[in-house]
Chain A
Amino acid sequence: MSLTNEQLSFLKKIVDSSRVWIGEEIGEDYSHDELGGVSGYPDILIKVLSTEEIAAIMKYAYEQEIPVVVRGSGTGLVGAAVAIKGGIMLETTMMNHILELDEENLTVTVEPGVLLMELAKYAEDHQFLYPPDPGEKSATIGGNVSTNAGGMRAVKYGVTRDYVRGMTVVLPNGTIEHLGGKIVKNSSGYSLKDLLIGSEGTLAIITELILKLVPLPEKSVSLLIPYAKMEDAIGAVPEIIRLKSSPTAIEFMEREVICFAEEFLGKKFPDTKNPAYLLLTFDGNSEAQVEREYDKVAGYCLEHGALDVFLVDTPERKDAVWSARGAFLEAIKASTTEMDECDVVVPRNRIAEFIRYTHELAMKYDIRIPSFGHAGDGNLHIYICRDKLDEQVWKEKLEKVFEEMYEKAAEVGGAVSGEHGIGFAKKEYLREQIGEEQIRIMRGIKQVFDPKGLLNPGKVISGE
């Protein structure tokens, strides 16, 4: 749909014109997200500043039946923040204020455009930790909540959902509502806030968030554990968890991917002699406590196939290891012409099987499928690389690989997406996995929130 001149000029009246872009003025960036597979331009882009402003825009959009897409910093990977049906795009990056730190309730109140890295730093400066730690640090908190992002510390601390206490939202008809609050417990009817988390902008617009913090652990040490085979590495994970130590993170990485990161960053990784690695982190309030935690695990690993256990204990060492880990996505991207990703989550004890399956698929379709991910929570990041394939072959192979992969994920009891969301790109796979009945319920929920189907149309569940 495209907006009429009258509609455009009305919107320009509500919002200061320096924050409005129309048609051609809209930058190319706003037509896609980080992965770029899904594209489309909005008719009008508005950088919003406040809940009230959003409410006013929504009220008008509701009246006029204009589709609205909300966008943070555009770091998504499944096209959720792309205006595939045109209309209005609300960008939240100017709503980037940290509003309140409540040290008595251990909460921080923020606007949705605050970046994850800004929040993390702010918390740390005040001796707190905001535990969710997704790889993309320049994502907005609003986006994190909308996808229920997970990240590296999920094993010990859980995911974004576990840290959202309350929120202010604008409903599609322009009404402002407060869901949840600073309260720790809540048994008062359906948890609408939890419906909103992970809803990818399809139900309401989040305009303020109350997030939970924890005291900042004073020490953290990572262990880099080399293995002769990926199976050995991943096979150790369920056992590590059984030891009842509580690592904050258990990541797995293949040598191939580490080498991409070396090339990409122009920096050598401290150890690349071995085909597979686990990277574990432990945190705590004293060196002794952290040491006690990792002693058990390190000892176990050495007795069960680990070739060594390296200590990553100083800022230099952490930087050498974690900067590579942080660059994996970009590095794989730089190693190929085009790629698509699969963000499945499987039970922890089925990871090894799943990774082996991706290796088989790579052989079967003669296509490169590097991967890395969160072994501790079963969330894998698998990338299918186009390399030199021509358009036709690439599309065909990609579709087949995806189909088989999601089928396998379902077979082992997994889910389509661990933390990136469904957006536009994974809709079909979601439907296949959860079935018509659950889709029907979701559609019903969508209908209640958004009877006219204006918010982020065509995403997560198909409207038709």
Chain B
Amino acid sequence: MGFLKVHQESVTPEIAEKMCEICPFHAISYNEGKLEIGAGCKMCKLCVKNGVSGVVTYEEEEVEEIDKSLWNGIAVFAEWEDGKIHPVVYELLGKARELAKVNAHPVYALLVGCGLEDATEELRHYGVDCVYCYDAELLQEYQVDSYANVVGDFVEKVHPSVMMFGATVKGRSLAPRAAARFHTGLTADCTVLEMKDNTDLVQIRPAFGGNIMAQIITPNSRPQFCTVRYKVFSAPKRTDEVSGHIEKMVLTEEKMQSKVQLEKKIEKPKTIDIAEADVIVAVGRGLQSQNDLTLVQEFADKLGAQMACTRPLIEAGWFDPKRQIGLSGRTVKPKLIITIGISGSVQFVAGMKGAECIVAINQDKNASIFDVAHYCFVGDLYEILPQLLAQLKGGTK
């Protein structure tokens, strides 16, 4: 750790002007013969690297180093609800095993809830060394304060080197709360994780809406917290044999008592909002008749997708206007959009080109939708879809 030191004795007005220009954050100013670094400083150190040599220097400060050997193990928060383990947990366990190998660390699962026997057994099929169970009636319902107490208790007792959470709604609220308790680093939405020999976790995450990637380490604090989104890593195969042991943990009633009271749970109102949908199946004029929508709807249901369409189908009265994508309809930004029989008019494309993954099915190999699609399937939708559906049905068995 360190700080920036300004050597005023070597500052001339010309040098000052130069230094002010160098700072990309306009944090350096020159007032009454003094060169000052203001609150806008981001510590990018460009003024040290590219500035007039010796004017600003980076001074290292002595920092007491922690003993990393006291922190062992990669722990995964095994998000649980109503008897079910969130599938992201298995993906995290898979990654945890990879990371643990580097320094021969154990892999832990931290399971919190009520009536956890089955869940505990299930976790043991994924190569854990130990499942830590906080099983109590008070923990039946997730609440951020009581669960943070559990994580806190676990960290104090077990001293894991890494704590991994799914970047779920719960994980994204609980992990920061727990990390702040230990004044340690938490890196959200990691897409790449690597382990160094010195047990430092290299975490890579997107920022600025994915336009920038940042590589982050937590060199002198433990545990190292991170969250990872569902479906970023792959889940390992469930093994037939079980591994690891079970550690039953206890916590005082006071710590398990939440200050938040659940009044009621509410089903999410089912509104058509294609703008919010993660997966969209969009159809266009390539569809020959309204009856064929059943086929597409079946496909969309299998994918858990919202149906959407182009303007002509609204005009034909096949859809609610709320389902129209395009300049005169909605703008969508799903993770996946599959366009079926859509030629790709400018109006339509303007409303969906922000999708992360665009799959297009169209018979016309020159269709302009193929200019924006990431995966172009040139063929007859009436042959491709039934085959795909058959596969999907087979796959769910």
Contacts and interface: CB of A to CB of B under 8 A. Distances in A.
Say whether A and B bind each other.
yes
Interface of A: 27, 29, 36, 115, 117-118, 137-138, 264-266, 326-327, 329-330, 334
B24 interface: no
A29 B343 CA distance: 14
Contact of B327 (A29, A118, A137, A334): A137
Contacts of A329: 328
A330 B328 contact: yes
Given A138-B327, A266-B322, A334-B321, A117 B350 contact: yes
Q: With a 10 A CB-CB cut-off, give which of B275, B321, B330 has the most chain A CB atoms.
A: B321
* Shortest beta-carbon contacts, A-B, top 5: A330-B328, A138-B347, A334-B321, A138-B346, A115-B346
B87 interface: no
Contacts of B347: 138
B312 A117 contact: no
B312 A266 contact: no
Contacts of B273: 266
Contacts of B322: 264, 266
Interface of B: 273, 275, 285, 312, 315, 321-322, 327-330, 345-347, 350
Contact of B330 (A115, A118, A265): A265
Given A29-B312, A117-B346, A138-B347, A266 B327 contact: no
Nearest to A29: B312
B330 A266 contact: yes
A264 B321 contact: yes
B328 A266 contact: no
Nearest to B350: A117
Nearest to B322: A266
Most chain A CB inside 10 Å of its own CB: which residue of B273, B275, B347? B347
Contacts of A138: 327, 345-347, 350
Nearest to A265: B330
A327 B328 contact: yes
20 contacts: A27-B285, A29-B312, A36-B315, A115-B346, A117-B327, A117-B346, A117-B350, A137-B327, A138-B327, A138-B345, A138-B347, A138-B350, A264-B321, A266-B273, A266-B275, A266-B330, A326-B327, A329-B328, A330-B321, A330-B328
A289 B188 CA distance: 42
Contacts of B346: 115, 117-118, 138
B394 to A, nearest CB: 37
B275 to A, nearest CB: 7
A349 B84 CA distance: 69
Contacts of A334: 321
Contacts of A330: 321, 328-329
Contacts of B345: 138
Nearest to A329: B328
Nearest to A333: B321
Main secondary structure, interface of A, reads helix
A266 B331 CA distance: 11
B344 to A, nearest CB: 12
Nearest to A32: B315
Contacts of B315: 36
Contacts, number: 29
Contacts of B321: 264, 330, 334
Nearest to A135: B328
Nearest to B312: A29
Contacts of A29: 312
B358 to A, nearest CB: 20
A265 B322 CA distance: 7
A265 B315 CA distance: 16
Question: Which of B273, B275, B328 gathers the greatest number of chain A CB atoms within 10 Å?
Answer: B328
Nearest to A118: B346
A233 to B, nearest CB: 26
A387 B212 CA distance: 51
A207 B273 CA distance: 42
Nearest to A27: B285
B331 to A, nearest CB: 8
Given A117-B327, A138-B350, A264-B321, 11 more contacts: A29-B312, A115-B346, A117-B350, A137-B327, A138-B345, A138-B347, A264-B322, A266-B275, A266-B322, A326-B327, A330-B329
B16 to A, nearest CB: 26
Contacts of B275: 266
B336 to A, nearest CB: 21
A264 B328 CA distance: 10
B59 to A, nearest CB: 39
A151 to B, nearest CB: 15
A115 B315 CA distance: 22
A157 to B, nearest CB: 22
Contacts of B312: 29
Nearest to A138: B347
B315 to A, nearest CB: 8
B53 to A, nearest CB: 36
A36 B315 CA distance: 10
A29 B285 CA distance: 11
A8 B52 CA distance: 77
A117 B347 CA distance: 10
Interface hub of A29, A115, A327, A330 (most chain B Cβ within 10 A): A330
Nearest to B329: A330
Nearest to A75: B347
A115 B346 CA distance: 9
Contacts of A27: 285
B183 to A, nearest CB: 34
A117 B285 CA distance: 23
Contacts of A265: 330
A329 B322 CA distance: 15
Contacts of A266: 273, 275, 322, 330
B36 to A, nearest CB: 26
Nearest to B273: A266
A337 B327 CA distance: 21
B342 to A, nearest CB: 14
A52 B273 CA distance: 48
A118 B327 CA distance: 13
A291 B315 CA distance: 43
Contacts of A326: 327-328
Nearest to A96: B346
Nearest to A330: B328
B367 to A, nearest CB: 13
A141 to B, nearest CB: 13
- Indicate the member of A117, A138, A326 with the most B CB atoms within 10 Å: A138
Nearest to A18: B366
Nearest to B348: A138
Contacts of A115: 346
A386 to B, nearest CB: 15
Contacts of B327: 117, 137-138, 326
A334 B285 CA distance: 20
A38 B322 CA distance: 26
A29 B314 CA distance: 13
B368 to A, nearest CB: 10
A138 B346 CA distance: 7
A264 B275 CA distance: 13
Contacts of A118: 346
Nearest to B331: A323
Nearest to A115: B346
A327 B330 CA distance: 10
A124 B315 CA distance: 33
